[in-house]
Structure 1
C-alpha cells in the first residue's frame, strides 16, 4: 500500500522546496567522500519515538474515551460535538500518521515521511493541544497526563523528522548530481538506430584501440594517439 501518485508528486515537490540545502551547488568532496552512496539515512531516534508512540496510542485512546464517557453528561452540547469529532479525527490521523512514519523512515521514502511530518505538525499537534489547553472541556487529571505525554511525542517527532527529511533529501540530491557528473565524465555515443549504446557495445570502453581513441581514468581527460 502506497500513496497515490499525484499526492506523491506534490509531497516530493514540497520536500525539494523546503528541505533541500540550496547552498550546495554540487557534490562537496569534503563531506561526500565520507558518505557512501548506499549509506542508510533512516533516523534511529525517530524510529524509537514511533515505536513507543505506537505502544502508547492505545492507552491514550482508552483513557480519553473513558474520561469522555464520564464527563459527557455535564458538558455543553457544542463541546460534546467537538470532543467526539476530535476523537474520531485524531484517531484516524494517528493511524495514518504512524503508518507513513514507519514507511518513510524505514524505507527512506521522502513523500511518506513528508506526509508524516505535515500531519504531525499541522493536524495532530493542534488537536492535542486543544484537548490539553481548553479548560472548558473539564479536563481530568488522567486526560491532562496522557495529553502531555502525547504532545511530547509529537514535538520530538516533528523536530527529528525534520532533520531526517533534510538529510534524506540532500542525499538524494547529491546522488542525482553525482550521476549527472558521471554522465558528463563518461559520455556514450549514440548508435545508428538512434538509441544509446551500452559499454559492452563500445569497443574503446573496454580498452580496445578501435578508432584510435584510448580513455584514461581521469574524469574529463582522454588521450588521442597520433
Structure 2
C-alpha cells in the first residue's frame, strides 16, 4: 500500500513536524508527543524504585505487627506484588506511546494507570496513613498517587490530540493516493 502513494519527499524537521511534499505543495503535520506528560513520566521512572523500596520496607515492618491489621497488610502485600511489575510495564508503555506516537501503547498505559495503578496507589496511601508510620512514607505514597492522577489527566488530553493528528495524517495520505490514481 505504501508503494502506491507517490509522495515526492517526506522529511522530519526537529522531530516536531512531518512534511509531505506533493506536486510542489508542502503539507505539514505536527508531532503530537506531550512534553508535560514526558516530564511526569521521567519523574515517575526515578521515583518508582524509591517507592518500591519504601513499600517493601513498610510491609516488612508491619507484617508481624501485633496491631490486629493483618488482613489489610496481607491484602496490601498481595497488591504490591501485582503492582510493582505492572509499574515497570506501565511506564514503558507510557514512554513508548508518547514518544513514538503509538496509540495502542498509549491506550494500554492509560488503561493500566486508570483501572489498576491509581486504585492501588490510593489504597496504599490509605494503609500507610492508617498505620501511623513515618511521615516520609505518607508523603511518598501521596506523591505517587498524585503523579498517577496527573499522568491520567494529561495522558487523556494527549491521547485525544494524538488520535486527531493520526486521523489527519491518514486522510492526507488517502487524498494523495486518490490524486495519484486520478493522474
Q: Tell me which interval the TM-score lies in, with the shorter structure as reference length.
A: 0.7 to 0.9
- For the residue of structure 2 that corresponds to 1:58, the secondary structure is helix
Alignment of 1:33-48 (within 5 A): 36-37=28-29, 39-48=30-39
State whether residues 63 and 70 of structure 2, in contact with CA within 8 Å, keep that contact through their aligned partners in structure 1. Answer: no
- The size of the alignment, in residue pairs, is 155
Distance 2:112 2:120 in 1: 11
Alignment of 1:1-226 (within 5 A): 36-37=28-29, 39-74=30-65, 75-134=68-127, 138-140=131-133, 141-188=135-182
Listed as ranges, the gaps of 5+ residues in structure 2 are: 1-26
Compute the TM-score of the two structures, normalised by the length of structure 2: 0.76
CA shift in 2, pair 1:135/1:57, >3 Å: closer
Distance 2:165 2:73 in 1: 48
Structure richer in strand, relative to its length: 2
| 1:52-101 deviation per Cα after TM superposition (whole angstroms, max 9, x unaligned) | 10111111111111122122212533223202111111101101101101
Distance 1:44 1:139 in 2: 37
Distance 2:139 2:61 in 1: 17
Q: Would you identify which runs of 4 or more consecutive aligned residues in structure 1 move more than 6 Å?
A: none
| 1:172-202 deviation per Cα after TM superposition (whole angstroms, max 9, x unaligned) | 11111222233333425xxxxxxxxxxxxxx
Cα RMSD after superposing both structures: 2.1
Distance 1:63 1:136 in 2: 14
